[in-house]
Amino acid sequence: MKTKNLLKATVATLVASAMGLAGVSSAMADTTRISAEDLAKNQTLTVEADEDISGRTLKAVPLAYYSYAQTDGTNITGFDLIDAGKASAIADALTKAHIDTQSKKDQTAGYDYNASNPMVWVVQNLLDSENSPWAGKLRDFIDQLKHETAVTGDKGTAFAKGADAKHMTASVRPGVYAVVDTTKTGQASIVMFNGTGIDGKTTLKNGTKTYTLGTVDYKVSDAGVGKV
């Protein structure tokens, strides 16, 4: 199986805004591969807010799954992705967001776009939403993705009340997810985007820096639902 080193260096940007994630490569000799069995274990994806969200209707829609991962025993130190059946929708959303996957203009990492596995390119190159989850190419992409039938029509995995009224959780196959708020009345969150932990490990280590996976912030839109 192809390894490692496929995804790297985008963690700081995406995790900082709790919108997305990327894997990191590791040259450390003491890293080991997480077994296929452990890689397949469902993980908890948590949405947290500053307000009561227990009445919200949220679903986790898979965009890509982890196909390989490595660990130093405590932290995730790298992973690969495979498409979760949304490749065409992702490609369409990128086009509608006017993101050029073929030129160097919108490419910051050295990985060429692969139409059969587009999320690799997305998490490596749409890195400009670090300071705000409301703007940038990543947000442009997600705002287009929410209109794709493959996403809206996917029932996904429903969230249930978590530890308290400010948290909701879903148990999902490890991977990268769009978290969609389908609440019918009042305000709703903009589409959220992040990845799960792997084998109970939610810390992603990138050199001397560490980041927490598996949690996304609830981002209330100023517009009421139905106007998104």
Whole-prediction pTM: 0.82
User: Mind listing the pLDDT tens digit for each residue in 156-209?
Assistant: 999 999 999 999 999 999 999 999 999 988 888 999 988 899 999 998 886 777
The mean pLDDT value of the chain amounts to: 80
User: Mind listing the pLDDT tens digit for each residue in 53-85?
Assistant: 999 999 999 999 999 999 999 999 888 999 999
- C-alpha atoms less than 13 angstroms from C-alpha of 204 in its C-beta half-sphere: 28
Neighbours of 169 (CB within 10 A): 19
Q: Which residue has the higher pLDDT, 158 or 21?
A: 158
> How sure is the predictor about 212, in pLDDT bands with cuts at 50, 70 and 90?
confident
In this prediction, residue 197 carries a pLDDT of 95
Is 47 in contact with 163 (CB distance < 8 Å)? no
Give 135-186 as a 3 state SS string.
Answer: CCHHHHHHHHHCCCHHHHCCCCEECEECCCCCEEEEEECCEEEEEEECCCCC
Say how far apart CA 50 and CA 146 lie, in whole Å: 24
> How sure is the predictor about 134, in pLDDT bands with cuts at 50, 70 and 90?
low
Say how far apart CA 195 and CA 134 lie, in whole Å: 19
